[in-house]
């Protein structure tokens, strides 16, 4: 479960100045939200998705795939900083940007969140809302327990895909297609 740590608001700069404490920290409208580091299954599912996406994106010169909770600044004043498990940023958006050392200044084109046992439906919904409001064009919520992927282009019309379906990059990652079952393979 994501827990607010304090009532004081933080900036992205303060987030990066915090000492390491074994938790994953994000900002939601300036509020520090923390959760335990995800488990092993979470990591392997995120790696599977990241690997499948990266192979396609690299082969087609479409941009970059980022893993490991890389920070994206979705809003400023108050700051919202999210770290998707896997993200895609298109080549065109990268070309217009200096090399960000810390947080990426903007939303990813695709954000992928792998549901952790500690995450609630409410906290996942908040993440989806933050990504979409910031301009993320496609969000995938991957549920390892149900072996499903919920696809969001808007909050109002999610689509749930199960092992029998294919996951499609649509117009965000053109040509990407993978069986949902492949995401959960060991």
pLDDT tens across 118-166, in order? 888 999 999 999 999 999 999 999 999 999 999 999 999 999 999 999 9
Contacts 24+ apart (CB under 8 A), 3-12: 3/33, 3/34, 3/35, 4/31, 4/32, 4/33, 5/32, 5/33, 5/34, 6/31, 6/32, 7/31, 8/32, 9/78, 9/79, 10/79, 11/79, 12/71, 12/73, 12/76, 12/79, 12/81, 12/102, 12/103
Place of tokens 């608001």: 9
Tens-place pLDDT, residues 18-51: 888 878 888 999 999 888 888 889 999 999 999 9
We find that the CATH architecture of domain 37-183 is Alpha-Beta Complex (3.90)
Weakest mean pLDDT among 49-58, 92-101, 160-169: 92-101
* Helix, strand or coil, per DSSP, at residue 80: strand
Tell me the pTM: 0.91
Domain residue spans of the chain: 37-183
Angle at 15 between CA 14 and CA 16, to 5 degrees: 90
Residues in a beta bridge with 114? 142
Q: Say which residue the tokens 């949902």 belong to.
A: 180
pLDDT for 1 equals 43
Q: In this structure, are residues 93 and 135 in contact, taking their beta carbons and an 8 Å threshold?
A: no
3-state SS, residue 77? coil
């Amino acid at each position: 479960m994501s827990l607010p740590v304090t009532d004081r608001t933080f900036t992205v700069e303060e987030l990066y100045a915090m000492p390491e404490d074994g938790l994953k920290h994000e900002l939601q409208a300036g509020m520090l939200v923390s959760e335990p580091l995800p488990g092993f299954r979470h990591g392997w599912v995120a790696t599977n998705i990241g690997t499948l996406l990266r192979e396609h994106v690299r082969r087609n010169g479409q941009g970059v795939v980022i893993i490991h909770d890389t920070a994206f600044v979705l809003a400023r004043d108050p700051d919202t900083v999210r770290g998707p498990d896997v993200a895609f940023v298109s080549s065109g958006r990268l070309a217009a940007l200096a090399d960000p050392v810390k947080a990426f200044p903007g939303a990813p084109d695709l954000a992928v969140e792998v549901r952790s046992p500690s995450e609630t439906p409410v906290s996942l919904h908040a993440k989806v809302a933050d990504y979409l409001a910031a301009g993320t064009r496609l969000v995938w919520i991957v549920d390892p327990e149900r072996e499903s992927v919920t696809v969001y282009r808007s909050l109002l019309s999610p689509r749930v895909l199960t092992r029998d379906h294919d996951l499609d990059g649509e117009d965000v990652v053109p040509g990407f297609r993978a069986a949902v079952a492949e995401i959960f393979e060991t």
